[in-house]
Structure formats: structure tokens, C-alpha cells
Amino acid sequence: MSQYHTVIGLETHAELNTKTKIYCGCKNEFGSSTNSNVCPVCLGLPGALPVLNKSVVEYAVRMGLALNCTINSVSRLDRKNYFYPDLPKAYQISQSYVPLCENGYVEFWYDGQVRTVHIERIHIEEDAGKLVHSDESADETYIDFNRCGVPLIEIVSKPDIESSGEAYAYLKALKAILSYLGICDCKMQEGSIRSDVNVSLNKHGEPLGTRCEMKNINSFSAVVRAIEYETKRQTQLLSDGEIIKQQTLRWDDIKGESFLMRTKENADDYRYFPEPDIPSAYISEQDIGKFSQTIPELPNVKMIRYISEYGIDSKEAEYIAFNQSIAQFFDECIKTQKHTPKKYCSWIMGELAKYLNASQKELSQTKLTVDVLNDLIDSVDENVISNSAAKTVFAVLLEKKISVKEIISELGLSQISDTNALEAIAKQVLSENEKSVSDYKNGKTNALGFLVGQCMKLSNNKANPVKMKEIILSLME
């Protein structure tokens, strides 16, 4: 084990799915034809002025509340000045001095325990355009400005994360929260969520080491790879007796390596100053109260509850908790108190998950209801149908609005528990399998299983397997 302790902080950008852009009325839409969602404002034409979209403030405040932040009732926008062809005004309207949200935390389950990562700040800003490099000429680059002015929140964590795995769990929790709040599309392939990573190493009990920042990381799994690479790189340097220099690195996920972008000495000076075109944003206590009422129990909290209160396995708890409609279904099931959470969990994780996975459907696209599931479990518990018949019934219930009773009778799946009927089956099977009967009598106990199996087969799986076994045993005595 390394003598160094890894310290990680993440700066996560999430695109908000407001109808329009942050400073103009253009549609906020991915995939429109090139340079179609643009206007004088987002193109930065001379004379155009930004007007802050109030929904962006609302969305960001809701995320702030979800991450237990203090909401600044007066927050300011600032200009971040730098030249780049995808940034038409040559400054980004962002928040530097007074962010919308500060000093929060997020709890999530990782590695058998509840972990807490503190949130330094959440601020709002605009996205930049997209450079499209020509396939034909190395000298030609085109710019698509559709993404210019798409609203972003930047969520800056404190350096509380200790491993790549924990970073992954943290990001998954953020993603699930964004998705619960309905403020981000969370489409990773469209770049809805992107994260920069800060890594430093120190020895236990010593102050934090010098950090390096890694940019251009496009997926959560790339975050893991980048952290692992960077940890190794810094460990090597330190073991060689070298000093870590503060640097910004560009992660190349294909090569699996990072490359130097700039050192601290030639870091950009963004010359932040208050945006004179937009007065401070005011948020009333009343609005904050109103927004906080719209925040449901969040997936990270649910997951912890499922594990610690119901004893559900963490993978299963995550599957259920991080899918809002499934979690809601699960919670409603539990509220009926008809069966144990674990029982519901096994149905959700078994047949339901398999079906959703195979059909690529959402829970809402199925016909399954809480009452129907309860009836189905009751039928099994009351020996009306067998477990395997129940699976057949469940498959139908997903696609058809029908009562459990009806479907059982329609498919003729009622379990046979009548002694006479079962005896008749057993007698037939025993007479056709004399060898197995004598094997059993000679001490080969596994012959019993075979005989029960044959009976079940003959009954089209409708025989009550427990009773069946009893009758076979009594007949063979």
C-alpha cells in the first residue's frame, strides 16, 4: 500500500434543461442544425445585451437546496475574460465573487458506509460554442454557436474525496440528484455532465499537497482512469524525490495519458469583474421556501435508507433508489406494509429489472401497479400458484391490465393442492418409474427429487410441490 493519501476535488458542470438559453430567448436544444439556435445576444454582436433567465436561477437554487447549501439571497454575475473562438463575447458571464449557493454537502453510500463530500459552491454560467475541425483541411475550423449560452451550473466539491471509486460514486449520486430534480437531461454522450478533476497527494497527518487539475474528461469512467493515472504519476514523482508543480493537464482518454496544458506561472488571468449589464440576482426567502418544497426525498438519501433500514444489498438499493419511478414504486409498496421490503426488492431486482432491461422500457410504460404486485405475492404465499407460475403471471401483468385472479384462471395456473388429484399424479409417475422407486428405497435419496420433478411436469407445474413431495413419500412407504 502506498504511503500517500490521495485527495480529490471535483468541479462538475451540468447543463440545465431550461426551455431557453441563460441570457437570451434562443431555444436550449441539443441536436438542432448548425447555428440555428442563435441570435445577436448569444452571438455576441455589438450592442446586444444579456438578460438573465429566471428559470436558471430557480434550477440552480434547487440543486443548491438538494446539496444542503446556503443560498445567497443576493448573488452577482461576473465576467470571466479570455479569448477563444468558441466564446463570441470573449468573456463568459459566470459567477466568481458571490455564487448562488455555498457551503453544502452531499451524503452517499460508498464502500460499505455513508460518505460525506462537502460542496464549496454552486454557480451559474453560460456554455461556449463548439469547434468543428474540418476533415479536409488542417487549417479550417468551423464554429457551431448553438451551445453558446446554454445554461450550466458548476458544482465545486471540497477536496474530500479519497479514491477514484469514491469520485465515481459521488458523480453517480450527483447525476441521480440532477435527474430527480428534472433540471438536467443527464445524457452523458451529449456532454450534459462534465467534470474536471483536482488531485493531490499527501502523507497521513501532513498538510495537503500541491494539486494538479485535469481537464477534458468526458465520462465518469474516464474520471476514474484519469484519477488513477494521476495518482500513479504523482506517487512516482514523489517517490523519486521530486516536487509536484501546480499544473493543468489535459486528459487523453484514448491514449490513457495526460498532457501538460499550462503551469501555474503561465496560468490565465481571467480578469473577473462584476457584469455591468446584469444587476445582481435577488432571491427572496419566500422563493427559496417555495423551491425547497419541490425537492423530493433524494436518491442518495433513499439509497442509504434502503441499505440501513431494510438491509437491502447496496447494488440493489442503488438500482432502485437511482431510478426515480422504480424508487417511488418501491416506496409505495412498502407503505402498504403487506410484505417485507426484501420481498418487494427481490421482485423488482428479479423479474422487473430483467424485463425493463430487455425491453428498454421505463416502469411507467408497463401496466404494473402496487396492488397487482401485492395480489401476486399473496397468491404465492397462499399457495394459489407456485413461484414459477407467479413469474409467468408477472410477465403478463407487465403488459396487460388485468387482475391476478383473472390471469391465473385464464392461464389455468392455479396450484393443485387437492390430495386425491395429487395422489393420482403420483401413482402414475411411480408406476412409470419403478427403477427410481427402488433406487430410493435402496437409499439413493436424490431419486426423490427426480420423482417430484416428474410429477410437477405431469401437472404442468401446477402441483403444490410441498404437498406433492409428502404424497410421494407416503406412497413409497
Partner 1 sequence: MELYEFKAFELSQMLNKKQISSVDLVSSFVNRIKTVDDKLNSFITLCAESALKQAETVDRKRLKGETLSLLAGIPIGIKDNISVKDVRMTCGSKMLENYIAPYDATVVERLKNADSVIIGKMNMDEFAMGSSTQTSYFGACRNPYDISRVAGGSSGGCAAAVSADMIPFALGSDTGGSIRQPSSFCGTVGFKSTYGAVSRYGLTAFASSFDQVGPICKCVKDTAMLFDVIAGCDNRDSTSADKHYGICFANLCDDVRGLKIGVPWELFESISQPDVFTGFKKSLKVFQDLGAQILDITIENTKFALPAYYVISSAEASSNLARFDGVRYGYRADNCTDLNDMYIKSRSQGFGDECKRRIMLGTFVLSAGYYDAYYKKAVSAAKLIADSLNSLFEKVDIIAMPTSPETAFSVGDKLDNPVKMYQSDMFTIFANLAGVPAISVPCGADKIGLPIGLQLMANSFCEQTLLNAAFSFENAFDGIQKPRL
Interface contacts to partner 1, rule CB under 8 A: 40, 43-52, 79, 81, 83, 85, 88-91, 143, 269, 271-273, 276-279
Sign (positive/negative) of CA torsion 332, 337, 339, 342?
Answer: positive
Minimum gap (Å) between residue 132 Cβ and partner 1: 14
Rounded to a whole number of angstroms, the minimum distance from the CB of residue 45 to partner 1 is 7
Q: How far is the CB of 49 from partner 1 (least distance, A)?
A: 5
Q: What's the count of helices (H) and strands (E) in the chain, helices before strands?
A: 16, 16
Which residues lie below 8 Å from residue 170, measured CB to CB, with a gap of 6+?
10, 106, 108, 110, 115, 117, 157, 161
Select 10 or 42, whichever has its Cβ closest to partner 1. 42
Q: How far is the CB of 98 from partner 1 (least distance, A)?
A: 15
Q: How far is the CB of 14 from partner 1 (least distance, A)?
A: 25
Residue closer to partner 1 (CB basis): 41 or 167: 41
* Region of residue 356 (phi > 0: left; psi between -120 and 50: alpha; otherwise: beta): alpha
Q: Name the minimum Å distance from CB 30 to partner 1.
A: 22
User: Smallest distance, Å, CB 155 to partner 1?
Assistant: 25
User: Which are the contacts of 310, defined by CB distance < 8 A and separation ≥ 6?
Assistant: 334, 341, 342, 345
Please, which residue, 77 or 376, has the CB nearer to partner 1? 77
Shorter beta-carbon distance to partner 1: residue 85 or 256: 85
The minimum distance between CB 116 and partner 1, in angstroms, equals 33
The residues pairing with 198 across neighbouring beta strands, listed in sequence order, are: 9, 213
Contact 318, 109 (CB under 8 A): yes
Q: How far is the CB of 76 from partner 1 (least distance, A)?
A: 13
The residues pairing with 248 across neighbouring beta strands, listed in sequence order, are 213, 262
Q: Which residue, 272 or 355, is less far from partner 1 as judged by CB? A: 272
Closest to partner 1 by CB, 79 vs 462, is 79
Closer CB to partner 1, residue 40 or residue 256?
40
The three three-digit cell numbers of residue 335, written as one number: 407503505
Nearest distance from residue 240's CB to partner 1, in Å? 32
453 Cβ contact list (under 8 Å, min separation 6): none
Residue 96's CB is within 10 A of a number of other CB atoms, namely 17
Please, which residue, 259 or 273, has the CB nearer to partner 1?
273
Judged by CB, which is closer to partner 1: 76, or 462?
Answer: 76
Single-letter amino acid code for the residue at 292: S
Q: Whose Cβ is closer to partner 1: residue 51's or residue 421's? A: 51
CA atoms within 13 A on the CB side of 36: 8
Burial 61-78 (b: 16+ CB within 10 A, else e): bbbbbbbebebbeebbbb
Distance CA 299, CA 200 (A): 30
Cβ pair 364, 327 in contact under 8 A:
no
| 126 vs 230 by CB, closer to partner 1 | 126
Q: How far apart, in whole angstroms, are the C-alpha atoms of residue 323 and residue 188?
A: 16
* CA proximity to 387, closest of 402, 372, 376, 399: 376
**Measured distance CA(397)–CA(70) in Å, rounded:** 46
Instruction: Report the alpha-carbon distance of residue 287 to residue 279 in Å, rounded.
Output: 18
Residue 85 or 311: the one with the smaller Cβ distance to partner 1 is 85
We find the least distance from the C-beta atom of residue 141 to partner 1, in angstroms, to be: 9
Q: β-strand 113-126 against 151-157: which pairing, if any?
A: antiparallel
Grid cell locating 65: 437546496
Per-residue CA distances from 263 to 212, 249, 271 (Å): 9, 9, 18
Give the shortest CB-75-to-partner 1 separation in angstroms: 14
Residues 6+ apart with CB under 8 A from 4: 201, 202, 203, 234, 235, 238
